[in-house]
Amino acid sequence: MTASFVMRAACAMLLMTTSATAYAQTADIRAEADGKARAIVDQLTLDEKVAQLLNVAPAIPRLGIPAYNWWTESLHGAIGAVPTTNFPEPIGLAATFDAPLVKQVAATISTEVRALHTLGRQTGHLGSIGTGLDTWSPNINLFRDPRWGRGQETYGEDPYLTAHIGVAFIQGIQGADPELPQVVATPKHFAVHSGPEPSRHVDNIFPTPHDLEDSYLPAFRAAIVEGKAGSIMCAYNRVDGQPACGSHMLLQDYLRGAWGFTGYVVSDCDAVVDIYDHHKYAPDAATGVAVALKYGVDNECNTATLGGRKDLGDRYRESLARGHISMGDIDTALVRLFSARYRNGDLPGLSARKADATPPGAIGTRDHGTLALTTAEKSLVLLKNDGVLPLKPGTRIALAGPLADATRVLRGNYSSARSAPPISVADGLKQAMPGSAITLIPFSPSITDGDLVPGSALRTPDGKAGIMAQYFNATGQNGFAAKPVLTRTEPSLLSSAAEYRQVSDRHSILWTGYLVAPETGLYRLALTGVKGELSLNGKPVLSARDYSRWAEPLQMTQLRLTRGDRLAIRLQAESGVSTNPAIFWKRVTDDLDRDLAAGTRDADVVVAVVGLTSDLEGEEMPVKVEGFSGGDKTTLDLPADQRAFLEKARALGKPLIVVAMNGSAIDLSWAKDNASAIVEAWYPGQSGGLAVGNILSGKADPGGRLPVTFYKGVEDLPPFTDYSMDGRTYRYFKGKPVYPFGYGLSYTSFRYAPLSVEPLNGAAENGLRVRTTVTNTGSRTGDDVAQLYITPPRFEGAPRTALRGFQLVTLKPGEERPVEFILSPRDLSFVSRAGDRGLIPGTYQLDIGSGQPGETTQGQKASYSISRAVSLPK
């Protein structure tokens, strides 16, 4: 017996002992939490029980249990009562192809979510949205079609990329021990959910067994099996006839059966109502809630709670009385919910959970802001560069386009307006290139217009910076106190009463002060979520009569102002009724041709910032304008005014640099043929404008890669409503894209060494170890994403090729670094037409490089063979 054999045996025994100990500790934690939860549930009355099944769980004072709101959102930044850190939209996070970075981002978000919970405790507002120690993130649905408005919330079109970025996010949110999560992660929307938005409450999707196993479920399996997510959100739509929130196949066969899920299930908001109201799957409310509860939905999100409705538990009471559900069904759900509250630290008393409240001061720190900037830089994708980039110091720049000075666009969907002050491209470029003359050219009125008026443009009635806010507590069913409980100067209308203990959950706010025009010009203004008016010299210029007024796109009024003009503000909002109280504005021109010619006359280059906003593409919304419908896109074209503008800018004869901001693939074929450079910026977060400036100036290298295919038009795709994957995404698309999945350039170049492919334990069926070396052959430090693709032999259901590994490498000039991929049998597996996953005999091509095989010259290939079929579990 050799010494090495003894050492290996000892290590193996230690690993087994450690694993067994960890398993026992996990079991002990869960058993203790479940026991304490059961002790609570056993003491509850029926009224108390049914109330706890909703997203707003009321306090139970006699048992010392505080209120808890399960509704917390943090796809790319916490959303709460105070300004939080806003990271790039998830599609931008995916573009980094950097799982460790995404895990760091998620850990930062988790810290801020915990700090918001602490703030809720300190102010007595634990019943408010955004105060829970769980979060309804990430969105790991597959971005199968670029028309889907919510695709921006996802990690793109590839199941492998989505799974690995999703697991990283979950691990960052929950922390090192999923049994004692810092914050419970809730991947969504389970499952087969990706538009259209307007029909999501009635859609009935029939995915093929192949597509279900190959495309729609892998990320969810990874989230539960590898990421150990403590919760999951079921979707609105039906799958094979059953509502996703009442699906035996999804919630029982896969989730709790094959994947061994032991956490709790929450419904998407009003998805349980959809079971009986829209799908008509159940004849009435009592039967509908029974369908959800019996199949495993533990917590129902119901938007009626936003208005304070208190009778929603009656549906469960009636269902129990009719015999559709048992007390045991209710108790099972409640034990799961209270157990989670013990394990995340909301409820004290769990022996393994020490008190570790995160102070509110941990929100929006300098380090968090630095991470937001770094992440935005790494998310940007350089699609074309004829040598104009990076810009040289002193370059004279004409900056134009509807999004050149925009700030709302940076935040994207599911974001808080209460983030750090956003940095537009105009401001970011000035910071990045202080020695350059930058001329900002206003754009004509556009459907993308509408930025929040910043605090710098507001003054209190006595002329101080900010706006005066008076808070009035409710005094009954419909009235409010005559005197304010709190009067203070706020930086903007975005103040939240949840910051203040003396303000009750039900209250009204009165804002007074002035909006001061910073310069002479033509402005567009809009109000949302308020009653009241703006007036100039005593005459109303903009008024609103309805608290809930909210139009997407904004309904804007045009007004010419002189620098220093003071618009008097008197606006009012009411909690639970008002929707997003805000003043929006945009400075525009009434003669774009004139201003474009004048502004570019002395310029060396033209930087055109174009794209969309998440007020056009996003979650179900009442938008019906050219190119957009109900939250989705009807075309991949840029808006018509932007297309015309780009042609005019190109005709000036100056190098044209196009910066695109969007959450989905758009047609960039014209820019590919006519622009000197193209940068895809997504919705890059609070520091997005500075990130763009740093990339254009060369202070940072563009390391991002496309997580979606950029097609030329919707005519290249199957119908949006068709959930078959045939003809979609790089894996099954048969046409020629404008830019392919995985594509992206750098300011330097790379070389890959020939591949070394080694079967694990002597057979490829056990997995592969693949090695190469990447060398920076250029003159600048830069990033490359080493992408590993497997191209299978031809069989029915086989993809063209499939991503099965990726690693971001940052190299100095001349530096080389070994890169290794360990591919498991699941990584090597494919799915038959019948929907069976396994190792399929045949010879496979393996490529590692800067992009897809055939799409990059920076790469190497090899082959391997599978000799016998091996079936893998669901």
Q: Which residues are catalytic?
A: 268, 617
Dihedral sign, Cα of residue 117, residue 119, residue 123, residue 125: negative
What is the DSSP code (8-state) at residue 828? T
Hey, what amino acid is at 781?
T
Question: What values do phi and psi take at 142, rounded to 5?
Answer: -85, 130
Helices (H) and strands (E) in the chain — how many of each? 19, 40
Distance (Å, whole) CA 238 – CA 203: 6
Would you report the helix, strand and coil content of the chain in percent, each value rounded to 5? 30, 25, 45
Structure tokens at 810: 């940052």
Question: What values do phi and psi take at 32, rounded to 5?
Answer: -65, -45
**Alpha helices of 213-353 — where are they, by DSSP H?**
218-225, 271-277, 285-295, 314-322, 327-343
Distance (Å, whole) CA 402 – CA 429: 16
- 10 Å Cβ neighbour count for 198? 17
Q: Is 152 left (phi over 0), alpha (psi -120 to 50) or beta?
A: alpha
Q: Which of 778, 758, 862 is nearest to 820 (CA)?
A: 758
CB-based contact 117:71 (threshold 8 Å): no
Q: Which of 89, 90, 85 is nearest to 113 (CA)?
A: 85
The pairing of strands 521-528 and 557-561 is antiparallel
State which H helix or E strand residue 356 sits in. Answer: none
- 10 Å Cβ neighbour count for 61? 9
SS3 677: strand
**Alpha helices of 435-537 — where are they, by DSSP H?**
none
The pairing of strands 782-791 and 802-811 is antiparallel
Distance (Å, whole) CA 569 – CA 566: 9
Residue with tokens 């900037």: 373
CB-based burial label for 567 (10 Å; 0-12, 13-18, 19+):
buried
Distance (Å, whole) CA 445 – CA 587: 9
DSSP-derived secondary structure for 375-424: HHHHH-EEEEESS--SPPTT--EEEESTTSS-SHHHH-SS--SSBSPP--
CB-based contact 774:750 (threshold 8 Å): yes
**Alpha helices of 662-758 — where are they, by DSSP H?**
669-674, 688-697, 729-732
Beta bridge partners of 808: 785
CB-based contact 427:686 (threshold 8 Å): no
